[in-house]
Structure 1
Amino acid sequence: MTTEKNNNISRRRFLDLSGKGLLAGGALAAGLPTIVPASVFGKTAPSNRINIGAIGVGRISRGHDMPGVWKHENAQIIAVCDLDSNRVASAQQLVNGYYTKKTGKDYTGTKGYGDYRELLANKDIDAVIVSTPDHWHAPIVVHAVEARKDVYVQKPASLTISEGRIMADAVRRSGQIVQIGSQQRSTSQFRYAAELVRNGRIGKLRKVYVGLPGDPSGDDEPEMPVPKNLNYDMWLGTTPEVYYTEKRVHPQSGFDRPGWLRCEQFGAGMITGWGSHHIDIAHWGMNTEHTGPIEIWGEAQFPTKGLWDVHGIFTTHALYENGVEMTISNEIPNGIKFEGTDGWIFVSRGDSSVTASDPIAKQNAAKKLDASDPKIITSEIAPNEIHLPVSTDHHGNWIDSIIARKEPIAPAEIGHRSCTACLLHHAAMKLKRKLYWDPKTERFKNDNEANTLLSRKQRSAYAIKTSK
């Protein structure tokens, strides 16, 4: 990475001078990365590079987010951050190794941090990838955009609906480029399915079926000493203090699927885990990206014992103002089925997966795109019909959007709305009765009990604080 020298003005400094404002807080001298030779980036001039910090460098970061970014010539990962110092060291080794192999020269310039706030204070960093557990998504995004960083953040957008609204509003005020990691928007069959539905290929849309994978329950787990390499108090973040046990957090050896994904303290389970992906695509096809359901009901089974307590078997429903009814269940094939008056379209990932430790095996027999009539999915979208934004690389779309200063394909507001829908289904699971939602005020109608689920009490040391 380069620092400003003589007439060589860094991209961050250029943005500051061109009216985007100064970064909040000063850079820590110890956090400034070393100078990197231009050969690291081939033909890409150092002044045009996007310098990126990775926050949270576990399974999804190592296998999906960092590789998705470092393959682009106009971006470089210059820093990594994690609350587990062993993971920081491993990520430094991983990134350094990539650039060493790429250039054929020994590279050791990746800076390591144990606190994301120190990473955000580094003025040489233009943007960050946030691949933390769900409960840290919204707080870090808020802090990052207020520090004038662009952000790629894993889905779901937030732990609660209230946090999501705070996050989306902070992004809007800042003008920063934020991409939600809903990468199905950058996969051709999902966009095409949404276009076909929006252009009436199955007639008037009536119902949408969303199938999600399931999560198994677990046993009680004993209290364990907190590893010296883990800042467990900060890892808990806004959530309540509870004893440490390895299966509540992440493996201390390797990068298998972490246990926090099955703890309601840190997320809602598959309804937000995969639900954020599939509901996002459902909304795309339904043309409801900036609104949400008005009625939600359903039921679910929850474990009665054990550490892992997210929902198990479930079926929930939602009615939208346009009359479309959505059904979500673990008993429906994984994917999204749009059903209209003249036929249906089904779309899924097919035999692809994001990481090797996805909770379900590859669906080798599943079709990526199917329909009641094959002619539906071979039809072409005419020039005068609805064409949705095209992206074939989700991380690349974010990088391109940063350069162009334009909205990415999965912006914060849309990510918040899809996450909100997930959390509304989760609220119906918990309360076991029909709920009535106002998408404009983002409140339940005449239901004080349900409105208590919009937020959670936050530990003061980590509560979301905005500058507005």
Structure 2
Amino acid sequence: MKTTRRTFLASAAAAGTVAAITHRDAVADETSPLKIGVIGVGWYGMVDAKAALKVGGVEIVAICDVDRDHLTKSADELEKLQGKRPAEYKLYEEMLEKAELDAMIIGTPPHWHALQLQAALDYGLNVYCEKPLSYDVREGRAMVDAVAASGQVVQIGFQRRQSKAFQQVKEYIESGKAGRIVQAEVQIHYNAGTGDATPQDPPTSLDWDLWCGPAPKIPYSPQVGHKKWRLEKTTGHGHMVDWGIHNLDATRMMLGLSMPKQINASGGLYQYAGSITTPDTMTVNFEFDELPVVWRHRLWGATEYDADTTNGVFLYGEKATIFVADQRWVVIPKGKSAPREVNEVKSDMGTLQMANFLAAVRGEEELACPIIEAFKSTAMVQLGMIAYESNSVVRWDEASEQIVNNEAAAKLLKREYREPWKHPHVTS
């Protein structure tokens, strides 16, 4: 076999020497476009690919999807955008073997992230992986360890870290103007809507068995297939894990929080029973050493009293209350007559997050979301679901990464893979 930069890096990875390769060494020629592959082009993988093209200095040379209609449509679109048609693959293993790549974008559902990230690292690639980091807590830890051993640049798609609104609120809090923040409330209420949940044959273009992969193979329906999988327990794991994680990660960032020490949860299926398998109504209390953070969502029902606060974070301080959303933040000072301070600040968060990744690959910037921060935010919401599913109080020991004195909950830290796939976390 001809020795190429890719095959050299793959050999180095197998020999355990990739960690010695610097970020700049991982890029063959900094003046030439970075060659990128994309796994999962049915939706957000393409959003990320187009963000990379918008930033510039890249070429999408290969794409992979288990739905051949996704492949054809996305290849057509990318050919128009960049003037070159990417190679198309059904199997990401084949793409890694055959395509000459510098980096990988992973846009698949989270039950696939751990295996695909590890495979990309084994080929010496830098990776942009969508959130949540993993399906279970133990996968996430294995991914953190794999990235540390590889020395590669890995960015996770927590795009709200690029929101000027969230960044400015962080600065405002650190200035002391709001006083000590005593409590945070985080929410995203919306009318989810549902698809047809009747079990049926999958589209002929879709390999449903491979789509399910290491997750349990469940009957196909439009409600658990493309895009709708987010509210399915075995894949997306529900609204808080899928979408709420953005605002919860931003809350951790703004307040400098690490991990909660105690979690309890309540909720259920009050409107969409029979259509979805995760709560349509939910409240989770995350107790940090510094303050409580409360998550709430409702996926149905009445119009909000104030639509401006449907999606965002309330921070209750000693001197002021702050409400912050993606593009807007408001300060409500103490005092009945004190005027509110409204700040409208726009950010192209997805493009900025991708630009930060590409700059980090070239050794020019630090990552906005290194994998350990993604692990903490992802484990946080996973622990919230564990508290809900075990109907118990979960006490988390961050140092040992164990659930304390709760055997039923502790068993939910890891979900065994469906054969023939193997879970990456090995118990010592």
Class of the TM-score when normalised by the shorter of the 2 chains: 0.7 to 0.9
The alignment partner of 1:460 has SS state of: coil
Query: Could you say which residue in structure 2 is the equivalent of 1:273?
Result: 242
The alignment partner of 1:274 has SS state of: helix
Query: Could you say which residue in structure 2 is the equivalent of 1:320?
Result: 288
Cα deviations across residues 408-428 of structure 1 (Å, max 9, x unaligned)? 101111011001111112222
The alignment partner of 1:249 has SS state of: coil
Q: Is the 8 A contact 1:215 1:269 kept in 2?
A: no
Query: Could you say which residue in structure 2 is the equivalent of 1:299?
Result: 266
Cα deviations across residues 374-410 of structure 1 (Å, max 9, x unaligned)? 899799xxxxxxxxxx997111110000011764101
Distance 1:415 1:319 in 2: 19
| 1:179 CA displacement | 0.8
Q: How does 1:60-99 map to 2 (within 5 A)?
A: 60-62=44-46, 64-99=47-82
The alignment partner of 2:36 has SS state of: strand
Letter in 2 for 1:49: P
Distance 2:35 2:73 in 1: 20
1:345 aligns with 2:317: no
- Shift in alpha-carbon separation, 1:198–1:425, aligned structure 2, 3 A: farther
| 1:436 CA displacement | 1.1
1:426 aligns with 2:385: yes
Q: How does 1:248-263 map to 2 (within 5 A)?
A: 248-250=224-226, 258-263=227-232
Query: Could you say which residue in structure 2 is the equivalent of 1:120?
Result: 96
The alignment partner of 1:336 has SS state of: strand
- Shift in alpha-carbon separation, 1:330–1:22, aligned structure 2, 3 A: same
| 1:182 CA displacement | 0.7
Match of 1:398 among 353, 357, 361: 357
Aligned residues: 394
1:372 aligns with 2:332: yes
Query: Could you say which residue in structure 2 is the equivalent of 1:192?
Result: 168
| 1:47 CA displacement | 5.7
Distance 1:21 1:123 in 2: 16
The alignment partner of 1:408 has SS state of: coil
Q: Which moved more, 1:390-399 or 1:311-320?
A: 390-399
Q: How does 1:145-184 map to 2 (within 5 A)?
A: 145-184=121-160
Q: Is the 8 A contact 1:134 1:158 kept in 2?
A: yes
The alignment partner of 1:66 has SS state of: helix
Q: Which moved more, 1:210-219 or 1:258-267?
A: 210-219
Match of 1:333 among 300, 310, 315: 310
Letter in 1 for 2:43: R
Query: Could you say which residue in structure 2 is the equivalent of 1:365?
Result: none
Match of 1:408 among 338, 357, 367: 367
| 1:72 CA displacement | 2.8
| 1:339 CA displacement | 1.5
Gaps of 5+ in 1: 26-44, 101-106, 251-257, 351-367, 380-389
Q: Is the 8 A contact 1:221 1:245 kept in 2?
A: yes
The alignment partner of 1:339 has SS state of: strand
Q: Is the 8 A contact 1:152 1:181 kept in 2?
A: yes
| 1:245 CA displacement | 2.4
| 1:217 CA displacement | 7.1
Distance 2:98 2:425 in 1: 19
| 1:452 CA displacement | 1.0
1:136 aligns with 2:104: no
Distance 2:351 2:341 in 1: 19
Letter in 1 for 2:329: L
Instruction: Give identity over the alignment, percent.
Output: 25
Letter in 1 for 2:284: T
Letter in 2 for 1:369: W
Distance 1:453 1:135 in 2: 15
Letter in 2 for 1:148: G
Distance 2:78 2:410 in 1: 44
The alignment partner of 1:121 has SS state of: helix
| 1:199 CA displacement | 3.2
Cα deviations across residues 51-78 of structure 1 (Å, max 9, x unaligned)? 000110012233x211101123311111
Q: Is the 8 A contact 2:266 2:388 kept in 1?
A: yes
Distance 1:280 1:330 in 2: 16
Cα deviations across residues 308-350 of structure 1 (Å, max 9, x unaligned)? 111111111111122x110111267311122221112211024
- Shift in alpha-carbon separation, 1:412–1:129, aligned structure 2, 3 A: same
Query: Could you say which residue in structure 2 is the equivalent of 1:243?
Result: 219
Q: Is the 8 A contact 1:248 1:307 kept in 2?
A: no
Q: Which moved more, 1:426-435 or 1:219-228?
A: 219-228
| 1:465 CA displacement | 4.0
| 1:137 CA displacement | 1.8
Superposition CA RMSD, Å: 3.0
- Shift in alpha-carbon separation, 1:169–1:221, aligned structure 2, 3 A: same
The alignment partner of 1:78 has SS state of: strand
The alignment partner of 2:141 has SS state of: helix
Q: Is the 8 A contact 2:52 2:351 kept in 1?
A: no
The alignment partner of 1:459 has SS state of: coil
Gaps of 5+ in 2: 16-28, 299-308, 344-348
Q: Which moved more, 1:304-313 or 1:53-62?
A: 304-313
